[in-house]
Amino acid sequence: MIRFLQSGNRVAKYLLGGFLLLLTASMVTYLIPGFMGDTGVTRGGVVASVGGQDVLTQDVTRAVQSQMRAQRYPEALMPFLTQQVLQRLIQGAELRYEARRMGFRVSDDEVRDELRNGQYKEVFFPGGNWIGQQRYEELLRENNTSVEEFENEMRDGLLTRKLLSTISAGVTVSPAELQQAYQEQNTKVKFEYAILNRDDVQKQIKPTDAELKAYYETNKARYQNSIPEKRVVRYFVINEKDAENKVTVTPSDLQRYYSANQQQYRVPERAKVRHILIKTPAPGPDGKVDQKAVDAARAKAEDLLKQIKSGANFAELAKKNSQDPGSAAQGGELGWIVKGQTVPEFEKTAFAQNPSQISNVVQTSYGFHIIQTEEKEQAHEKPLSDVRAEIEPIVKQEKASTVLTQEVNQAEDIARKQGLDKAAASVNAQVVQSNPISHSDSLPGVGNAPELMNQIFADNEKSGPDSSNTNTGYVIFEVNKIIPAQTPTFEAIKDKVTNDFKNERTNELLSKKGQELADRAHAEHNLAKAAKEAGATVKTSDMVGRSSQVPDIGSMAGPANVAFTMKPGEISGPLNLGQKEAVISITEKQEPPASGDEFAKASEQLREQLSEQKKEQAVQLFMGNLRTRLEKEGKLKLNKAEIDNVTRSRS
């Protein structure tokens, strides 16, 4: 019953990011091979063109920044995330082009239904109630988007979903596939296993100084500049909290802000309503409506109205009969609505009635309604006294920001002209000289500040005073000394060289011993005997499945998964388990019958799992073929220079 505005973009990129990820999760990987192969576009600001539709650099940048903020990813992940976003946006453009070429379209009704019933319903319909046109626009505006942009993005997503649904619609799971998967998932094995431990092997490695020096010389490139560059910095901090402590908020400040932003505190005319909805059927494939069903819905609504007029409890009737899932459980309560929020017929009745008045049966595109207007409130502005607590921290922050900016500008100017000490004195701060710090360190009193450290290591000793914004304020600094990265001598890192040497030799020796154990067990057809000769202990597992854990072996979904392909009496090759090498010998195997009650119980869920896997495979294949075709037709053009620029700047 809610009529939505015809406008919107990406309710914060966290919404759009989630929407696009949902629709394109299965197509993230195929584009990687040869991703930068074509250079058909050379315009700046355009990373690709698909069928004449540009994918812009600014779209990539905004999406990356949005996801970084929303997910609070560390800066180190930005290059990886940029590649993923770049791929996803180009793939999305490819799919939209193909969907339109195939004649798919998305109606306004489909967009409205997605808003109400899709993944955004808790954002825009918390508890089943529409947040209202004004809040809808505000929410999008707060996230730097418009209604038109948001709904266009949603329309594109629905268009893509239609195409992907069509691609995977023909996927089926045969009885043979179902039986095979059931047997694979439910087969159990029992086995003997011999374990060689890495720690035991490492104890046998005792390198001489000559061996270590030779290893150091051979691998000298590995230790090149392994002592990182360090810098000594003089700096002082200007904190935001200090600026806040210097400002006070006066009544005139509050009045000035309130007057300048008075529109924000305007409450539109509104009505508190509840209703009972009896739905009417949607048109069939031929566009016709079942008139008998419509008449039956009207009759039921008329009967409920008679009961209400005869004294029946409105809320109880709504709980038992209303077909609006968002309000029935609350006795039909919709809460406060404003004009432009509901369909016209509903709105006209709700606002025309007096408080406590109950309408006759009202027909809308959703069905038949009985509407009670519980309360009404005329449009008005909230007085300053009501919003003072809301305004005061905003005004204080604005004034503190102004003071902070002035102090930073003044300190920067003094630092350049008279030096860091005079600048620090001007803001009652103390200059601190750091110990030698590396790029990954943080300055005492500042904490984690990646941008600051980037700036420190970008300057040189002649750069003079510089500044950087941090989470708590500003740091004014100058680089005093640069200690270049160094290659340590053998004596300086003998312990590290020893550790590297032993690790490398241990890996080689462990692998060799594992292979020897497997070869001996195969030759003698006896794992226990071979293990004894190799100094390994043989253990026996329980009867285990693919999801089981076995002591010393770990998850049966790992390398030991090979056990489920073996027959009783067979001996495996060496299994690399990281810190161990293992060899297994099957003693017993149980394969479940692909029929009966247990199979019947598990088959539906298993069929769904296999179907999803096959659908994803179908989409992957389609995407690969689509890209090849678009390249051949000249519909897909990539701008290598711009892609390089985007990915390089993020790195």
Average pLDDT for residues 105-127, to the nearest whole number? Answer: 84
User: 43 pLDDT band (50/70/90 cuts)?
Assistant: low
Interatomic CA distance for residues 159 and 153, integer angstroms: 10
Q: Tokens at residue 546, please?
A: 């693919």
Residue 649 has what pLDDT? Answer: 54
Query: Which residues are paired to 197 by β-bridges?
Result: 580
User: 76 pLDDT band (50/70/90 cuts)?
Assistant: confident
Average pLDDT for residues 111-130, to the nearest whole number? Answer: 83
Q: Are 57 and 46 in contact (CB under 8 A)?
A: yes
Residue 170 has what pLDDT? Answer: 84
Residue 650 has what pLDDT? Answer: 52
Interatomic CA distance for residues 363 and 341, integer angstroms: 17
Task: Using CB atoms within 10 Å of the CB of residue 128, give its burial: 0 to 12 exposed, 13 to 18 middle, 19+ buried.
Answer: middle
Q: Torsions phi, psi of 460, nearest 5?
A: -125, 180
Average pLDDT for residues 104-114, to the nearest whole number? Answer: 87
Assess whether pLDDT exceeds 80 at residue 36: no
Average pLDDT for residues 466-473, to the nearest whole number? Answer: 88
User: 648 pLDDT band (50/70/90 cuts)?
Assistant: low
Assess whether pLDDT exceeds 80 at residue 462: yes
Interatomic CA distance for residues 25 and 42, integer angstroms: 29
Residues ≥6 apart with Cβ < 8 Å to 244: 396, 397, 400
Domain boundaries, the chain: 12-170+617-650, 188-224+493-590, 230-249+390-483, 269-378
Assess whether pLDDT exceeds 90 at residue 323: yes
**DSSP-assigned states of every residue in 244-301:** HHT----HHHHHHHHHHTGGGGEEPPEEEEEEEEEE-PPP-TTS---HHHHHHHHHHH
Residue 500 has what pLDDT? Answer: 95
Average pLDDT for residues 324-349, to the nearest whole number? Answer: 89
HSE on the CB side for 95, CA within 13 Å? 31
The CATH T-level fold of domain 269-378 is Chitinase A; domain 3 (3.10.50)
% of the chain surpassing 90 pLDDT: 54
Average pLDDT for residues 89-113, to the nearest whole number? Answer: 90
Residue 447 has what pLDDT? Answer: 87
Average pLDDT for residues 381-387, to the nearest whole number? Answer: 89
User: 32 pLDDT band (50/70/90 cuts)?
Assistant: very low
* Radius of gyration of the chain from its Cα atoms, rounded to whole angstroms: 35
- Cα–chain-centroid distance for residue 544? 36
Instruction: Give the CA distances from residue 2 to residues 342, 344, 414, 442, 582, in Å, rounded to whole numbers and listed in that order.
Output: 4, 9, 60, 53, 64
Assess whether pLDDT exceeds 80 at residue 476: yes
Interatomic CA distance for residues 388 and 252, integer angstroms: 12
> Which range is least confidently modeled, 131-145, 347-361, 435-449, 525-539?
131-145
Highest mean pLDDT among 51-55, 142-146, 418-422: 418-422
Q: Are 543 and 190 in contact (CB under 8 A)?
A: yes
Q: Are 584 and 565 in contact (CB under 8 A)?
A: no
Residue 23 has what pLDDT? Answer: 37
Residue 424 has what pLDDT? Answer: 94
Residue 531 has what pLDDT? Answer: 94
- Rounded to the nearest integer, the mean pLDDT of the chain is 86
Average pLDDT for residues 563-578, to the nearest whole number? Answer: 95
Residue 28 has what pLDDT? Answer: 36
Average pLDDT for residues 376-382, to the nearest whole number? Answer: 89
User: 44 pLDDT band (50/70/90 cuts)?
Assistant: low
Tens digit of each residue's pLDDT (9 = 90 or more) over 493-550 = 999 999 999 999 999 999 999 999 999 999 999 999 999 998 888 999 999 999 999 9
Tens digit of each residue's pLDDT (9 = 90 or more) over 127-147 = 778 888 888 888 888 777 888
Assess whether pLDDT exceeds 80 at residue 228: yes
> Which range is least confidently modeled, 4-13, 207-216, 442-451?
4-13
Residue 307 has what pLDDT? Answer: 96
Residue 133 has what pLDDT? Answer: 84
Second-level CATH architecture of 12-170+617-650: Orthogonal Bundle (1.10)
Residue 22 has what pLDDT? Answer: 36
Interatomic CA distance for residues 113 and 219, integer angstroms: 64
Average pLDDT for residues 149-171, to the nearest whole number? Answer: 89
Assess whether pLDDT exceeds 60 at residue 11: no
User: 6 pLDDT band (50/70/90 cuts)?
Assistant: very low
Q: Torsions phi, psi of 278, nearest 5?
A: -115, 110
Residue 317 has what pLDDT? Answer: 95
Residue 19 has what pLDDT? Answer: 37
Residue 236 has what pLDDT? Answer: 96
User: 10 pLDDT band (50/70/90 cuts)?
Assistant: very low
Assess whether pLDDT exceeds 80 at residue 579: yes
Sheet containing strand 367-377, strands side by side: 333-338, 270-279, 367-377, 357-364
Q: Are 377 and 350 in contact (CB under 8 A)?
A: no
